[in-house]
Structure 1
């Protein structure tokens, strides 16, 4: 058949690119497990794809295309099983309902967020009692936050403490499209989170007051004050707790937040600096230089530095991924092969997905691999080598290097934009320009200064280098604030549909991973997904799962039901409403009538006036008045159970209804409700929350 022959010719031409799709197909299966609702769907997909794969392999008859399709089906099937197995293997009990407990616990880890004046403890409870002295059974791993002034001396990993805390089950998304902490907590084995209260009694001090990572962070922040010291600590240990919130927000708005998360840039800088220093120093010994391949010794030293840096910074997923990639690059250099290829990127992705498949759903994994894939794919293109390659004239060569940096920055910004829109509901406009300055400055100025300062610190002569490092990071912060303050630096967008994000990612991968002209067939899919994300409809109302917080969205921004909503809730609701400014109070909106306990407002959409009422305090409203109000309203929202006779014209969202739906977003023109909890969803963290019993008492 002519069409089949065309496909076979295409497959033959792309045969060297086929291994790049191994992690992609495995990732499709992992994503499918997270998207599909229950075990019946997972089993059906696994069996169907396995049957298709085996059938295609059996009937291939030597054809490359059937073998490709069969292998793809088997990999997707394996991805579903891999994610399922991982979720079941990490399962742990989850707290059934909020409770206040006095507990004795061993400290597994301490994370100090100096800028927020908070200390987070990861605890393993040994015994717990409620306010009446009855014994409680708590999950084996909980996370508790303490005010900085309540964190006593000797508190660290290995300590045993007694404290009182208010504990809650891990929270799901605030509303559809929000961050699902319950899912992340499930894979970390965290069964409850909460807030601890003073006094905290130390029953057994930690073997060491602070680990190496904490001691190093404390030493750096003692040498450099303010957010500059926090950034220096983040570069060395991955600890971002000492960076002021306003400075961290400026870095995010300027597109420089990736510099605060230890990943490929930092690993590359450390490995490069160590390799160069090792080779230069060993070259001073002529006998060794004549008999040993110094680049091999430099690569070995770089590998040790990469592993040590990864361990020091907490071995998070981006750092592990970067360390794996660095090991592969160093191995390629040792073998005399090309240092950085898409195959190495694919190998790194495959290793991470095999051991931590849940990482695929996080922004960190997606941003890291999207950036490196875009960079390598771009520089593999013949046009880049032709237009921006070396030139005999040093002036033209310098201009070409500068232009290559600009093009690379723009390409990375475009590659990361769909991910930023989907996860953070924001898109930066000037990040590429800022990164052209910030990345070389961090790599060739700040990080070498910090390494020299750390090496000289034991000798007591590092003072000038700490000063220079502080000034260099101050300039980096000044750049971030300057870019963040520019008009239109950030465009806020509402929650994008999942299918649009999948289309944008699929189209981008199709363009990046193939080499023949067929690659350009991915552009329409990429454009469709990207445009759909940009044009995603804005919700009119956002209601959190507890019914306490309601956000009304309009062209003037976001208005909140409760004036005293916390910073996290204000930020989350503003982002999901596609607003970049500070939310205002609903009571200040024209047409809204708000008292201490209720708020009633009117919204006009498509020529229809909608009347909406919501409770805004914990005090009871007289039932007769409430029932009469319900009859006049189209939507009624409450954080408690409403009487059965409360029957609004369209939608009633009280505590029982919101327990079933979770947070919701509502569009009024035409009427549509999206829910956090999908009917029949049986993912382990959903079932654990639904079936968890209250803390056992005796």
Structure 2
């Protein structure tokens, strides 16, 4: 079969590669690159009209440059980082959103001011006190005394970069209130969808209290903050977490019900059925319902992809063409990347597009081999084919998203196919239809009639999730595959899905090597957190930690995920661990992984003199003063350059700091300066 029709989607792949190239840089590229991309794209279009293959080849380079330029432009247009006060401050601002948490309300403020100073361009997120009686709504003005901090960096070099995510989302600081909040009505009208979202959440909570209400709110408005941690864990471990994230499944249900219902209603009216294009009109109104749902649920990346696909599907339906195609998916991906290039780094974008890519390509391959249920087929045949389709959908989507789940979360959901086979029909036939009816009844105040049945369906889904998550081995921890392994998996999946002929199988070796990359990638032997309060030593199959007061529990959990361990062991006061590779005394622990491998010393009270003379690297939660022949990772080093990772290898010691890994990027804070000092250089040696 001719493969030339499959060339166009590779332009979207090149666009994404260009975006990734930008984020892989150690520093910012010159702004002039933004102006080079448009003429190159035009040149590729001009050449493609005359010599299609040459134009496509040039188009790959032009698309890559366009993705690079788009990411550069979006990064450069963001508001500057905030100078967050180091002490408690009075924060005033306009309420954008209100989220319900177990610990109390959390508000996001725009037009914020610190102690009556200048208006800040970035948003501020503050968790109000649990007992605070204030009930702010979107659009209100809020004043509260709070303790804030800037977005935190990765917990390990190469880990999830919340500072980068905050840079592109516009978040400037977050914190918690120290006193009651003062709320006053705002002068400007509240954001339309934020106010509507808050009203829907309040109505759902009133009609469906408890865990079911929190999940029902998430399905209608996209906010998951009110869901209890144990319910989130059960949904995740059972493979049903995707049901909580408003995505393609939900919008397909909304648009499908809208389309079918409107077409049926119009067909019942003889005047409309004879004079109006019923199918086209129903399709356009269903698209409008999908767009409304997108705005109501917060315009998350899976929804953006789904709405972009819905637009193309509607256009194809009106033109009498096939609705779901790889070209349509590629156009949707390109639209998201041009509008939000940083989305490509997130699990949501990656898993959403990977699942749909596998479903479209898999259906293309399966369609000639699957019998069709004709109009005269009995119910048993129809039920069998529907069950086969549901199982194959779960298998294809689950297999396509497995590498991304391993990279981001380090977990495998073993029984996800079975759980989805039970829970997805409940979502499709009861939960989402009832939610749509509830939304239509809200203006009349009758939403409870539909919300209560919706709550029954949600309770059934939660019961399925807890049931499946409780099975032996339901969710297994696995060593996360590294970034280069995920890149191989992604390329292999794309190659396998975009081509039709036998050479598509050349993608399988890339997939296999990518999945095996975790066993080929050596993890650090020592880790030091950004505040020095947590030091990790990986020896054998165990992660040993030294924890000081105030050490971050989240950092420890991220380290456990990195090493695929469920628990850590404390470094003992004295004794030998891991077959003698870790020797601890009251004042220090010595790590020696072999006779030919350099040793490391973790100080905890001893003088650094002996460690500096006998080890290749010395780690300390306190500053090390004086000359040291070994590499030093102490309190001052992590304060200046963030968390450190250390590898002990026969060819020497490798020490990588977070600052060295990320480079000089707009979202990476500058080297901090000690008070009263003009330089961040280490303190002078004390003889």
Task: Give secondary structure in 1 for the equivalent of 2:130.
Answer: helix
Question: Residue 448 of structure 1 corresponds to which residue in structure 2?
Answer: 433
1:126 and 2:113 matched = yes
**Partner of residue 683 from structure 1, selected from 661, 665, 682:** 665
Q: Residues 307 and 25 (structure 1 numbering): CA distance in 2 closer, same or farther, change over 3 Å?
A: same
User: 1:613 — aligned with what?
Assistant: 602
- Corresponding position of 2:16: 27
User: Residue in 2 aligned with 1:17?
Assistant: 6
> 1:25 and 1:304 mapped to 2: Cα distance?
31
| Partner SS for 1:677 | helix
CA distance in 2 between counterparts of 1:61 and 1:26 reads 20
1:469 Cα deviation from its structure 2 partner: 2.1
Aligned to 2:482: 497
Of 463, 468, 475, 1:483 maps to 468
Matched positions, count: 663
Q: Which runs of 5+ in 1 are unaligned?
A: 1-9, 130-135, 616-620
Q: State the TM-score, normalizing by the size of structure 2.
A: 0.86
CA distance in 1 between partners of 2:274 and 2:41 (Å):
59
Shift in Å at residue 183 of structure 1?
A: 0.4
Preserved contact between residue 107 and residue 156 of structure 1 (Cα < 8 Å): no
Q: Contact between 2:79 and 2:122, CA under 8 Å: does it hold in 1? A: no
Q: CA RMSD in A?
A: 3.6
2:29 and 2:72 in contact (8 A); partners too? no
Corresponding residue for residue 392 of structure 2? 407
Query: Residues 599 and 157 (structure 1 numbering): CA distance in 2 closer, same or farther, change over 3 Å?
Result: farther
Q: Specify which of 183, 207, 225 is matched with residue 164 of structure 2.
A: 183
1:665 to 625, 634, 645: 645
Closer, same or farther: CA 400–164 of 1 in aligned 2, 3 Å: same
Contact conserved, 1:91 with 1:187, CA < 8 A, in 2? no
Q: Distance in 2 between matches of 1:588 and 1:277?
A: 70
Deviations 1:301-358 (A, max 9, x none): 2122111111111122222221221122122222222121111111111111111111
Q: 1:275 aligns with which of 251, 259, 268?
A: 259
Structure 1 Cα separation of the partners of residues 35 and 672 of structure 2: 27
CA, structure 1 residues 51+474, in 2 after alignment: closer, same or farther (shift >3 Å)? closer
**Stretch deviating more after TM superposition (526-535 or 475-484):** 526-535
Q: Deviations over 1:419-454 (max 9, x none)?
A: 111222223222222222222221222111222234
Q: Which of 57, 65, 70 is matched with 1:77 structurally?
A: 65
Three-state SS of the structure 1 residue aligned to 2:537 is strand
What is the TM-score of this pair, normalised by structure 1?
Answer: 0.85
- CA drift of 1:379 comes to 0.5
The answer to whether structure 1 residue 114 and structure 2 residue 97 are counterparts is no
| Per-residue CA distance 1:527-552 (angstroms, 9 max, x = gap) | 21121135543433322222222233
Residue 387 in 1 paired to residue 374 in 2? no
Q: Deviations over 1:459-503 (max 9, x none)?
A: 565545433322221121121122222222223233432221111
Secondary structure at the counterpart of residue 164 of structure 2? helix
Q: Which residue of 2 aligns with 1:133?
A: none
Q: 1:332 and 2:316 equivalent?
A: yes
The answer to whether residue 296 in structure 2 is matched with residue 312 in structure 1 is yes
Instruction: Tell me the distance in 1 between the aligned counterparts of 2:330 and 2:315.
Output: 15
- Alpha-carbon spacing, 1:137–1:598, altered in 2? closer, same or farther (3 Å): farther
Find the counterpart in structure 2 of residue 3 from structure 1.
none
8 Å Cα contact 1:119/1:148 also seen in 2: no
Report if the CA contact (8 A) 1:421-1:533 is conserved.
no
- Report the 3-state secondary structure (helix = DSSP H, G, I; strand = E; otherwise coil) of the residue aligned with 2:536: strand
Name 2:239's counterpart in structure 1: 255
Residues 558 and 584, structure 1, Cα contact 8 Å, conserved in 2: yes
Q: How does 1:462-611 map to 2 (within 5 A)?
A: 463=448, 465-533=450-518, 535-554=520-539, 557-562=542-547, 565-579=551-565, 581-587=566-572, 591=576, 600-603=588-591, 605-606=593-594, 610=599
- Going from structure 1 to structure 2, the CA distance change for 1:679 and 1:489 (only over 3 Å counts) comes to closer
- Is 1:198 the equivalent of 2:179? yes
- Provide the rounded CA distance (Å) in 2 between the counterparts of 1:195 and 1:116: 11
| In structure 1, C-alpha distance between the alignment counterparts of 2:45 and 2:259, rounded to whole Å | 48
- Asked whether the equivalents of residues 259 and 283 of structure 2 are also in contact (C-alpha less than 8 Å), the reply is yes
- Tell me by how many angstroms 1:674 deviates: 3.9
1:420 matched to 2:405? The reply is yes
Partner of 2:635: 655
Shift, 1:104, TM fit: 4.0
Aligned mates of 2:270, 2:37 — CA distance in 1: 65
**Deviation of the 1:230 alpha carbon:** 0.8
- RCO comparison, higher one (Cα < 8 Å, 6+): 1
Aligned match of 2:680: none
Moved more, 137-146 or 342-351: 137-146
